Structure 1
Amino acid sequence: MLFFSAIICFAQEDLKEREKQAAFDPAYSSYSRKKPAYVTLKSGEKIEADIKDVDRKKGQINEVKFIKPNGEKLRVKAEEIVDLYMAPSGMEKLQQQSNFINDATKWGKSDASKYMNKGYTMYTNQMVSLKNKKKEAEFLMQVINPKFSQYIQVYADPWAKETMSIGVGSMKLAGGIAKSYYIKKGDEKVLWLTKKDFDEHFSSLFMDNDKFKAKYADHKFKWSLLGVYILDYTEFKAESGELANSK
């Protein structure tokens, strides 16, 4: 019994460490007025400018107003932008993003490590139907799994509800997790994935990889382990020689 207890204990510790590695970035709604943003337009032009204002629809960015160093004002719609790197406001929030793997091969984009190791948040242009109900439109969406986003990208849902958190008095011991995210696998359309619909989409997201299927054949999957599943899937694909090229 002691032997099996030790095995279970080690397995739980391994899972905890894996969860740390696969943790999603915080979803931010703020931006710094003290640090410039870096923008790549569909025209190929790259811009470094301060952010004056951000317009959103259902929490997702559909327009950004910039001020260039020379004082020129720009008003750019999401449909004109490829990607955007901007810093959240508050040094404590920047510090939350400092624990990334310092290896450019782990990132979905070649510029990501350069900006995000400095505390920047990555947004990319996506065509999406908000909550799978609205007419498709282009938005700038925050990538919250940039370390392992080569095959499956996870985007923040700023309006997501959270699971119940655990606390004693005013002390929060275990925080709630979002009940929904936007997910894009390969060239498929962006999917609004919710906790209650996870069972329905688990197979199509992950079970096309033999190594993943073997590991999780008898597993009762959990919403709280979504990041772990995506990290495992990414590593299994890489081991099979299917490493996606950085975009």
Structure 2
Amino acid sequence: MIKKFLLIALTVFCIAEVSAQQLLSPSFTFSHKKTAYLTLVDGTELEGIIKDVDRKKGLIKYIKIEDKIGKKHKLKPAAIVHMYLPASGLDKLSKAISFLEDMKKWNNQKLNQDLLRQGYVYCENTQVLVKKKERTMMLQLLNPEFSNEVRVFHDPMAKHTMGIGVAGINATGNIAKSYYVKKADEDVAHLIKKSKYNKEFAKLWGGCDALIQKTTDIKWRDLTQHILDYSDCGN
């Protein structure tokens, strides 16, 4: 009975959190029963069951997968272009994408819409700029339903705001203080932080005067709306 109550409570909190942020929370656990889909650098389309995902400091170091004929693969992120991984347990609660009507025009049609609607996590090999140095990371996309003009990736090293707990479980209010952001005309993703967002706002959204001029009160929690406004700029 207690477990049922917690599940219902967490479901409500997760739905509320997604509605508030409109950015998905990252997944850290994946199903060992549902099929994962990987596209490799050599063009191979690999389908199979996840056996293990190894991380170091939050970053994926390798993924073990068993394909449909029973062959086991141990892959480093450098060998993978992108992948769709099935979230498991509570991680899946906030992953089913609804594709809200006002966001459809900024939906990235290159992504597999059916898998996203089923709650799959999309990750891709991405060039990022860290302290003026470029690195390659396998990162989770957090805005798949409006990522055509701006892509927002999970920062594995991000700190978080204070959350509200249910029976000791942090359920809501746990918002990341940093993300990797990549605009359509850029080759690398840039790290943006809550603490510097106000100062870097004009530079980040440069080219969209309408957004910059109308935003007199810059707030981190409005990041999603800023992305949509930027995407709509000039269209």
Q: What residue in structure 1 maps to residue 126 of structure 2?
A: 126
Evaluate the alpha carbon distance shift between residue 147 and residue 22 of structure 1 in structure 2; reply closer, same or farther with a 3 A threshold: farther
Determine the C-alpha separation between the residues in 1 that align with 2:146 and 2:197: 20
Instruction: Report the 3-state secondary structure (helix = DSSP H, G, I; strand = E; otherwise coil) of the residue aligned with 1:140.
Output: strand
Tell me how many residue pairs correspond in the alignment: 216
- Cα contact 2:29–2:91 (8 A) shared by 1: no
Distance 2:132 2:38 in 1: 27
Matched, 1:233 2:230: yes
Letter of the 2:198 counterpart? D
TM-score normalised per structure 1: 0.76
For 2:164 and 2:62, the matched residues in 1 are separated by 37
Equivalent position of 1:94 in the other structure:
92
1:174-206 Cα deviation digits (max 9, x unpaired) = 513111111112314222221112123211221
Q: Which amino acid aligns with 2:31?
A: S
1:186-205, aligned counterparts within 5 Å?
186=184, 187-205=186-204
CA RMSD of aligned residues (A): 2.8
The SS at the match of 2:81 is strand
Alpha-carbon separation, structure 2, partners of 1:173 and 1:69:
36
Higher Cα Rg: structure 1 or 2? 1
TM-score scaled by structure 2?
Answer: 0.80
Q: 1:134 to 1:54 in 2, by over 3 A?
A: farther
Larger strand percent? 2
Amino acid aligned to 1:38: Y
Q: Which amino acid aligns with 1:162?
A: H
Match of 2:150 in 1: 152
Structure 1 unaligned blocks of 5 or more: 1-16, 241-247
Instruction: Answer with 95-104 or 176-185: which moved more.
Output: 95-104
Match of 1:48 in 2: 47
Distance 1:168 1:55 in 2: 29
Match of 1:181 among 174, 179, 182: 179
Identity of aligned residues (%): 33
User: Partner of 1:79 in structure 2?
Assistant: 78
What letter matches 1:180 in structure 2? S
Contact 2:21 2:221 in 1 (8 A): no
Residue identity opposite 2:140 in structure 1: Q
The 10-residue stretch of structure 1 (43-52 or 103-112) with the greater mean CA deviation from structure 2: 103-112
Name the residue aligned to 1:14.
Answer: none
Q: Return the alpha-carbon distance in structure 2 between the equivalents of residues 168 and 32 of structure 1.
A: 24
Counterpart contact for 2:202–2:212, Cα < 8 Å:
no
